[in-house]
Structure 1
Amino acid sequence: MLRTPKRSTTHSLLLLVGTVLLGLASRRYPAVLPTFVAQYAGDVLWASMVFWLLTLLRPNGEGRHLAAIAFAIAVAVEASQRYHAPWLDALRASPLGALALGQGFLWSDIACYLVGAVLAAVIDWMLRTRRRKRVLMPREY
């Protein structure tokens, strides 16, 4: 059985930063995006961001396991939005708290998290498969 090469920390970091920037842009400039994309892109990208964070913590982790963990974390954060303590609501009222913890529970967000975790895992798989092919078949000069 062929082993997939270890993830590149640089790739994971670049994908994490790119995902965060895209997510922030989707919230800051929703008018330039189609309505459907503006409404759901931030949640899809949030779960993808969690996946890329996990790849930095577990560079040899199985993509499907990391995607499942990213999805579980996202669902847990979404479920936490049903709990309202004054200190937690105050944290969610801040811009950073709202981005990290959300503001209100929506079932549609859970579907977005599933898409985001799976999408990130597919991108990760494609990058690692491409890297394995380069290792197995070096270029001839």
Structure 2
Amino acid sequence: MKFKNRITYFILIIITIVLGLLSRHFAIIPLFIGDILWATMVYFIMWFLFINKPIKFNVIAALIFCFAIEFSQLYKAPWINELRHTLFGRLVLGDGFLWSDLLCYVIGVGMGVGVEKAILKRNRPQ
């Protein structure tokens, strides 16, 4: 059963990545949608990694990770700035700190909780 659940989360991660990347290619879609989807993906990754943990654990872990990445953007050492100028660095680490991104992350994790409850219909420990 655990294997099947991990496959489900893996599929949700891939779908979220595709949606997030597509959101950057259409000018009509606001940029903050990508930030929301990024946090949703992080939430699904937390479930993939910590499948037996309660919802609160995965919500807090996802938010801590997202917030840590955002606050790391205040660190401007040359080596990390060079990394941020690569595709991988830009997608994972971002470019610059924005307070509004923190709100996007909360919305994205909340969206992940909603998707999980609606689609997976699991009775997870709270």
Compute the TM-score of the two structures, normalised by the length of structure 1: 0.79
Matched, 1:91 2:88: no
Q: CA deviation at 1:32?
A: 4.1
Mapping of residues 1-141 of structure 1, within 5 Å:
8-27=5-24, 29-33=25-29, 38-129=30-121
In structure 1, stretches of 5+ residues that fail to align are: 133-141
In the TM superposition, structure 1's runs of 4+ consecutive aligned residues that sit over 3 Å from their partners are none
> Deviations 1:76-126 (Å, cap 9, x if unpaired)?
000000010000000001111001000000001000000001110121122
Matched residue type, 2:97: F
Whether the aligned pair in 2 keeps the contact of 1:51 and 1:117 (CA below 8 Å) is yes
Q: How many residues align?
A: 122
Q: Percent identity?
A: 35
Compute the TM-score of the two structures, normalised by the length of structure 2: 0.88
In structure 2, stretches of 5+ residues that fail to align are: none
> Which of the pair has more CA radius of gyration?
1
> Deviations 1:20-43 (Å, cap 9, x if unpaired)?
01111111x13243xxxx221110
> Deviations 1:28-74 (Å, cap 9, x if unpaired)?
x13243xxxx2211100111111111111111221232112101110
Matched residue type, 2:13: L
Q: CA deviation at 1:9?
A: 1.4
What is the alpha-carbon root mean square deviation over aligned residues? 1.8
Whether the aligned pair in 2 keeps the contact of 1:63 and 1:124 (CA below 8 Å) is no
